[in-house]
Structure 1
């Protein structure tokens, strides 16, 4: 009887040791290495590497093309408003985005003689007011960011606040858990 008891105890110790060791190996493999910020020299090297890639070469060609220069010029016109987060008055020119667009919900707006894609990230409660927009509606827009992409012939404004006839039709909700 003692031999059976000792054999079972030994088996229990060996099995629990194997289970514990396997758990430690799994925990080590799931830990992701922390990404430290790149130094200025490393960033510069990565940028050079990207510029030499096919995507970087295509982007540089687009930037130098008339379409790229037009987009950058339009961005420059509203840069001060973006930086200061001030109102920009615009007229809705289209209720749909260019074909093949993957920006979500947005409209085309003319501000100071240039066309822009105005992208919204609405909640369901805000969709009804945004869908009530019509062509030639005058709207006031505020944003903190404007971007561009070679795929689009227009700068992309990420709208954070919009009003029509002095009534708020869109206000971006703050992100949860973020800065």
Structure 2
């Protein structure tokens, strides 16, 4: 009997050893070199190089124009609220975006006596159903993590992450699945 138990234990050890040696994780080696992080000087050089392109020149001209200065000033007014993800009171001024917009679902709103495009993203489900119940002159509370601008638009673009009306949350953007 002892010999049988000894043989079983020995075979168990041998089989376990073979299983563990074959369970090595295989890492695929990428043939592409890892992207290098650019230094501040390299980033500045790349930016200057881009600013010399036709698109860069157009952007600089727009930023110096009266329309561009107005948009940049409006964006600067709410930048502190955006950087702290703070509440901003907005009044809906239009339920549609300017003609030719490619921002997905959105609307126009007034915040602190300036007008902004509120962009909620690409519409692919019923997640904007409660936002559709908004009317012109409705007061809402919004939060955002980003404000941007483009020469194509006469107003800064606020990417809205949170909307509240009368103390009730009517929109909250879905958190990203990758954790970023």
TM-score by length of 2: 0.79
Looking at structure 2, the residues matched to 114 and 123 of structure 1 have their Cα atoms a distance apart, in angstroms, of 30
Q: Offset at 1:66?
A: 0.5
2:63 is paired with a residue whose SS is: helix
Structure 1: tracts of 5 or more residues without a match: 1-26
Q: Offset at 1:123?
A: 6.5
Judge conservation of contact 1:126–1:169 (CA < 8 Å) in 2: no
Q: Offset at 1:124?
A: 2.5
Residue 86, structure 1, aligned to residue 83, structure 2 = no
CA RMSD of aligned residues (A): 1.7
Residue 174, structure 1, aligned to residue 175, structure 2 = yes
Q: Select between 93-102 and 119-128 the one with higher mean Cα deviation.
A: 119-128
Aligned length: 152
Structure 2: tracts of 5 or more residues without a match: 1-27
2:41 is paired with a residue whose SS is: helix
Name the residue aligned to 2:46: 46
Measured against aligned partners, the alpha-carbon deviations of 1:50-95 in whole angstroms (never above 9, x if no partner) come to 1111000000000000011001110111112112211111110111
Looking at structure 2, the residues matched to 76 and 112 of structure 1 have their Cα atoms a distance apart, in angstroms, of 12
Runs of 4+ in structure 1 displaced over 3 angstroms? 30-33
Name the residue aligned to 2:7: none
Name the residue aligned to 1:10: none
1:48 is paired with a residue whose SS is: helix
